[in-house]
Amino acid sequence: MRGSVVCVMLVVCGSVLAQDVPPYTEDCRSGTYPPSGPTFKGKVQWYTVNLDQPPYERWQKLISDKKAPLNELIQHIKNLAKAIFPNLIDIVDNKLPFLIGKLPSPFGEEMKGVADAAGLPLGEIMLFNIFYEVFSVCTSVVAQDTSGKLFHARNLDFGLFLGWDVKNNSWIVSELLKPLVVNVNFQRNNKTAFMSTSFAGYIGMLTGMKPGVLTLTMNERFSLDGGYIGILEWILGKRHGVWMGFLTRSVLENATSYDEAKDLLSKTEMLAPAYFILGGNKPGQACVITRSRTSSINFWELDTQKGEWYVLETNYDHWKPPLVIDNRRDPAMKCMKTKGQKSISFTTIYDVLSTKPVLNKLTTYTAMMSISENKFEAYLRDCPHPCMPW
């Protein structure tokens, strides 16, 4: 699978980069917030999911609203998968559903509820959920201003390698995903338990805030011992690890402090490697946890005494250089430096995340979270031509 993926990437490089140069990159933007103009595609809609309802029922309303775009995306993923592995869909439709009982509560029941509400086979909803375990690339940052307030923000980039639309100059999956982006307010006892920006149909969490307690984002970490192997092992019966999206969901739902979250995110065995970017509710509480499948291999925490007033992660180990053709880290850091610690806020962080190539053709949304100001905002993004393809 990796082989064919690399192959697709080379084809894309050859045909797309040529027409996209220049400019890939631009100077650090300013004045982009509040969002407007061609890179802003709209506010993300809010939904409520009531955790007091049985897991099977809680996604009903949201999924019935998003049924059409969800069907469209899954059809597209199936067509892609069929082109690479002709037998895959047969396995997905006929074999995967038998494994639903192996998923811990509440996830199996939730997936059943989503599948029925969407009118789709259970195996396809499982495949859709597996997808996020392996295909998201992103930029996440947590910064502390001079008064000690933390701001946590991210761009969610998704859809690389999954088909380029020559006519629209866009990644097909990235475009199909935008109508599925939702903000979810998860409630317990009629009160907000946590909030998340998510994709309708996905029950794990990539971006979330537990008001008063913590903020969390996850970025994909590519590795040879990567997601595919873990998932394959899981399907074949070796089930030590947990799905990444379930771990982040459990942390947001049930962890009660930054330290507890840090511990769970560092030590829980997973199916795929990952970067967890975690923020707490006190000055100094922000870190990037670099994970292998079994454990934390690097822990990087904010250190304002040493002048490290933010942590920033894309999809490469922070102590190593990023891939030359995908360097979003340096432009983002340069822009953070230009803005400076004194002026850090939603306004300036949105500028950083609107600067190409931090903003790129894969970017589906930008989310910004602040515990101290109790704010959670998410915006749909576009990156009209000319714009770097990833």
Ligand X SMILES: *[C@@H]1O[C@H](CO)[C@@H](O)[C@H](O)[C@H]1NC(C)=O
Catalytic residues: 138
Strand partners, 356: none
Q: Does residue number 249 form part of the binding site for ligand X (CB under 6 A)? A: yes
Q: Does residue number 250 form part of the binding site for ligand X (CB under 6 A)? A: yes
In the bound complex, what is the minimum distance in angstroms from residue 50's beta carbon to ligand X? 8
What is the footprint of ligand X within residues 112-171 (CB under 6 A)?
165, 167-168, 170
Cβ 322 vs Cβ 312: under 8 Å: no
Checking phi first, is residue 111 left (phi over 0); if not, alpha (psi -120 to 50) or beta? alpha
Nearest-CB residue to ligand X? 175
Give the three-class secondary structure for 378. Answer: strand
Which residue lies nearer to ligand X by CB, 105 or 147? 105
C-alpha closest to that of 141 among 211, 194, 217, 197: 217
* Cβ contacts of 365 within 8 Å, gap of 6 or more: 44, 155, 156, 178, 181, 197, 378, 379, 380, 381
- CA 142 from centroid of its chain's CA atoms: 15
DSSP string spanning 157-198? EE-TTS-EETTTTEEHHHHHHGGGEEEEEEEETTEEEEEEEE
Q: Which of 87, 105, 147, 305 binds ligand X (CB under 6 A)?
A: 105
Question: How many whole angstroms separate alpha carbon 123 and alpha carbon 9?
Answer: 28
Q: Does residue number 109 form part of the binding site for ligand X (CB under 6 A)? A: no
Number of shown-chain residues binding ligand X (CB under 6 A): 14
Q: Which of 254, 295, 298, 374 binds ligand X (CB under 6 A)?
A: 254
In the bound complex, what is the minimum distance in angstroms from residue 146's beta carbon to ligand X? 36
What is the footprint of ligand X within residues 34-73 (CB under 6 A)?
52
Which residue lies nearer to ligand X by CB, 251 or 336? 251
Q: Which of 36, 147, 190, 305 binds ligand X (CB under 6 A)?
A: 190
In the bound complex, what is the minimum distance in angstroms from residue 267's beta carbon to ligand X? 16
* Cβ contacts of 197 within 8 Å, gap of 6 or more: 44, 156, 181, 182, 183, 184, 206, 207, 208, 365, 367, 378
In the bound complex, what is the minimum distance in angstroms from residue 385's beta carbon to ligand X? 13
Q: Which of 93, 109, 175, 326 binds ligand X (CB under 6 A)?
A: 175
Q: Which of 93, 253, 263, 301 binds ligand X (CB under 6 A)?
A: 253
Q: Which of 3, 189, 236, 306 binds ligand X (CB under 6 A)?
A: 189
C-alpha closest to that of 368 among 378, 359, 360, 358: 378
In the bound complex, what is the minimum distance in angstroms from residue 223's beta carbon to ligand X? 26
Cβ 298 vs Cβ 319: under 8 Å: yes
Residues in contact with ligand X by CB under 6 A are 52, 105-106, 165, 167-168, 170, 175, 189-190, 249-250, 253-254
